[in-house]
């Protein structure tokens, strides 16, 4: 069970009391991948850490990404050699600490001519050399015949072949959760549904924050004292910056990206296909168990929101891109199984198009000393956290000593490389290969624990509450079980049994249980509206 950590957040009074019981070295505002990575790193160094979120762990951008762990090929074209090395290194680290959340995902780069194939190969050779990519993960080149045999779904005209190289596919919200659990296992106090409403300033220096409970009917909150405050609020970074400095100008520019999910039977690809959209941007078709998702778009969005609006135009952009490259189009809106959208918290760059804005990360120090961190990628969260906590240690008068975050397994990650064996043991419980893949990938070494009691949704819901800090049905449905994105009908059938089990553990009244179910149904209806409207 990874580093042996369960996260049970049911006792709210105890949670708020723990936040008030001491002066922390670090208060981290925001439990996305950035904040959870920082909290884990700092806690592993022995710092006292409080990690809070206004919503659930991973409820912001960190559950809305394309879920790819990029080795850094795209940075090569921009000449960013250091970033290529870092991304390739991070990919290896993730495979070590969470093999279940780093599945090999071959990418098919299509080429229109033999010259095109040669150019792609040259780029990949440099990338493999610079990134010290292991020999067994080197690319291969396919001619048109091999492409047709391996990926018959790709349209036969127009491509001379392809170059195929492996990236990794993860589950973003579970990776984020695993980091939060690990942080808690190393002593961090983690509290969700606790929004920072005010910063505590002493002689102009930030010394903590006042948080308010955000669950239905909750009145309590806490006053948290800390030596250093880290603002890892993703798309809300500017709002938190303004708690410190009311007049602070925006530093972020948000861009929205959506994904649409089809059944794999409808788009029967074996690997991720990289497609050129109408405007020349790259768009992916990514297979995951019985589904394929298309993503993503990149358009400016005016304000931070948990559920950025999806338009019919967004959806058509992706289905049109797919129809240009894949047989079987047009891909109709009424065939879409699920959809999601998220906001990239990018550092503003005047005059650039959304897709041209750099994904670099930056730490900004406010007038009261709050360290705000924004930009970056899921892929590089661990090294980004390490750099930030080095800076914090220096401010605390300590010599920075990075902990073994790239070596110690995350919860669920102590598989000793035997993923296939886990998969067959899970399948032996009467699951289809796709269902077994889902469970083994999401839960890693904890997967077999789910077969001890009741139905799978009920067992997953209990696991979510007792070990994974879930407090609402949406926490289970969207971010713990991934059913809202990768299940028939958005996993609505799992809501009743899951709510029943969660209700027992969280002492929900019948009304509360009904309202939890209704909230998830309403969420799905609103997400699917853009898909169904003409």
Ligand X SMILES: Cc1cc2nc3c(=O)[nH]c(=O)nc-3n(C[C@H](O)[C@H](O)[C@H](O)COP(=O)(O)OP(=O)(O)OC[C@H]3O[C@@H](n4cnc5c(N)ncnc54)[C@H](O)[C@@H]3O)c2cc1C
Which residues of this protein are in contact with ligand X, per CB under 6 A? Answer: 29-35, 52-55, 59-62, 64-68, 70, 195-196, 232-236, 240, 257, 296, 342-345, 376-379
Distances in whole angstroms, Cα of residue 370 to Cα of each of 53, 208, 298? 17, 10, 30
Distance of closest approach, residue 454 Cβ to ligand X, in angstroms:
30
Distance of closest approach, residue 199 Cβ to ligand X, in angstroms:
10
Cβ closest to ligand X, residue 368 vs residue 503: 368
Measured CA to CA, the distance from residue 186 to residue 41 in angstroms comes to 9
CB–CB of 310/341 below 8 Å? yes
Cβ closest to ligand X, residue 128 vs residue 475: 475
Q: Where are the beta strands (DSSP E) in 20-84?
A: 23-29, 49-52, 68-69
Provide DSSP, 429-459: TT--HHHHHHHHHHHGGGGGGGGSSS-HHHH
Measured CA to CA, the distance from residue 175 to residue 57 in angstroms comes to 10
Cβ closest to ligand X, residue 163 vs residue 177: 177
Distance of closest approach, residue 324 Cβ to ligand X, in angstroms:
21
Cβ closest to ligand X, residue 28 vs residue 450: 28
Cβ closest to ligand X, residue 462 vs residue 470: 470
Distance of closest approach, residue 430 Cβ to ligand X, in angstroms:
33
DSSP 326: B
Distance of closest approach, residue 101 Cβ to ligand X, in angstroms:
13
Distance of closest approach, residue 397 Cβ to ligand X, in angstroms:
27
Cβ closest to ligand X, residue 376 vs residue 444: 376
H helix or E strand, kind and range, residue 89: helix 81-97
Distance of closest approach, residue 511 Cβ to ligand X, in angstroms:
26
Cβ closest to ligand X, residue 33 vs residue 450: 33
Cβ closest to ligand X, residue 58 vs residue 99: 58
Number of alpha carbons in the 13 Å side-chain half-sphere of residue 401: 8
CB–CB of 294/322 below 8 Å? yes
Distances in whole angstroms, Cα of residue 494 to Cα of each of 10, 433, 499, 500, 501? 22, 19, 8, 10, 11
Chain centre distance of CA 308: 16
Distance of closest approach, residue 69 Cβ to ligand X, in angstroms:
6
Measured CA to CA, the distance from residue 447 to residue 176 in angstroms comes to 18
Distance of closest approach, residue 196 Cβ to ligand X, in angstroms:
4
Which residue do the tokens 């269902």 mark? 435
CB–CB of 507/465 below 8 Å? no
Cβ closest to ligand X, residue 63 vs residue 445: 63
The distance between the two most distant Cα atoms of the chain, rounded to a whole number of Å, is 71
Cβ closest to ligand X, residue 62 vs residue 481: 62
Distance of closest approach, residue 382 Cβ to ligand X, in angstroms:
11
Distances in whole angstroms, Cα of residue 123 to Cα of each of 119, 130, 181? 6, 11, 39
Handedness of CA 222, 507, 216, 482 (dihedral sign): positive
Distance of closest approach, residue 169 Cβ to ligand X, in angstroms:
9
Cβ closest to ligand X, residue 3 vs residue 172: 172
**Which among 72, 173, 164 has a CA at the least distance from the CA of 126?**
72
Distance of closest approach, residue 414 Cβ to ligand X, in angstroms:
24
H helix or E strand, kind and range, residue 221: strand 221-231
Handedness of CA 465, 469, 471, 477 (dihedral sign): negative
CB–CB of 198/209 below 8 Å? yes
Measured CA to CA, the distance from residue 322 to residue 274 in angstroms comes to 10
Cβ closest to ligand X, residue 59 vs residue 222: 59
């Amino acid at each position: 069970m990874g580093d042996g950590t369960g996260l049970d957040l049911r006792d709210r009074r105890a949670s708020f009391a723990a936040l008030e019981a001491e002066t922390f070295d670090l208060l981290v505002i925001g439990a996305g991948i950035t904040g959870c990575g920082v909290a884990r790193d700092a806690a592993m160094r022995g710092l006292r850490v409080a990690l809070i979120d206004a919503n659930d762990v991973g409820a912001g951008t960190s559950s809305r990404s394309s879920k790819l762990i990029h080795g850094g090929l795209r940075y090569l074209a921009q000449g960013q050699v250091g970033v290529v090395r870092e991304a390739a290194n991070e990919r290896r680290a993730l495979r070590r600490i969470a093999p279940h959340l780093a599945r090999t995902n071959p990418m098919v780069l299509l080429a229109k001519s033999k010259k095109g194939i040669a150019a792609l190969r040259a780029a990949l050779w440099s990338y493999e050399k610079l990134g010290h990519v292991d020999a067994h993960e080197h690319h291969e080149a396919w001619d048109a015949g091999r492409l047709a045999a391996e990926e018959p779904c790709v349209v036969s005209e127009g491509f001379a072949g392809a170059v195929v190289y492996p990236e990794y596919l993860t589950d973003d919200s579970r990776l984020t959760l695993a980091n939060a659990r690990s942080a808690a296992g190393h002593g961090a106090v983690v509290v969700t549904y606790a929004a920072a409403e005010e910063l505590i300033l002493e002689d102009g220096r930030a010394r903590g924050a006042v948080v308010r409970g955000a669950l239905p009917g909750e009145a309590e909150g806490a006053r948290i004292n800390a030596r250093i405050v880290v603002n890892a609020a993703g798309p809300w970074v500017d709002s938190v910056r303004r708690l410190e400095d009311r007049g602070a100008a925006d530093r972020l520019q948000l861009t929205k990206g959506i994904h649409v999910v089809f059944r794999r039977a409808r788009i029967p690809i074996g690997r991720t296909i990289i497609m050129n959209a109408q405007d020349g941007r790259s768009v992916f078709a990514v297979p995951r168990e019985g589904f394929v998702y298309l993503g993503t778009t990149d358009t400016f969005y005016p304000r931070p929101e948990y559920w950025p609006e999806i338009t019919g135009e967004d959806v058509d952009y992706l289905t049109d891109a797919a129809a240009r490259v894949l047989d079987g189009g047009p891909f109709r809106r009424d065939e879409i199984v699920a959809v999601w959208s998220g906001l990239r918290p990018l550092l503003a760059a005047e005059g650039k198009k959304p897709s041209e804005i750099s994904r670099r990360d930056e730490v900004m120090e406010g007038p009261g000393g709050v360290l705000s961190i924004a930009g970056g990628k899921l892929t590089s969260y661990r090294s980004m956290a390490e750099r930030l906590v080095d800076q914090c240690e220096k401010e605390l008068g300590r010599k920075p000593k990075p902990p073994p975050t790239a070596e110690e397994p995350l919860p669920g990650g102590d598989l000793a490389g035997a993923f296939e064996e886990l998969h067959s043991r899970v399948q032996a419980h009467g699951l289809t290969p796709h269902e077994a893949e889902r469970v083994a990938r999401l839960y890693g070494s904890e997967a077999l624990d789910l077969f001890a009691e009741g139905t799978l949704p009920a067992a997953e819901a209990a696991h979510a509450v007792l070990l994974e800090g879930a407090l609402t049905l949406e926490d289970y449905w969207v971010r713990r079980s991934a059913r809202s994105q990768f299940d028939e009908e958005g996993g609505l059938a799992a809501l009743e049994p899951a709510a029943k089990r969660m209700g027992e553990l969280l002492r929900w009244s019948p009304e509360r249980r009904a309202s939890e179910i209704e909230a998830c149904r309403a969420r799905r209806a609103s997400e699917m509206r853009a898909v169904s409207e003409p």
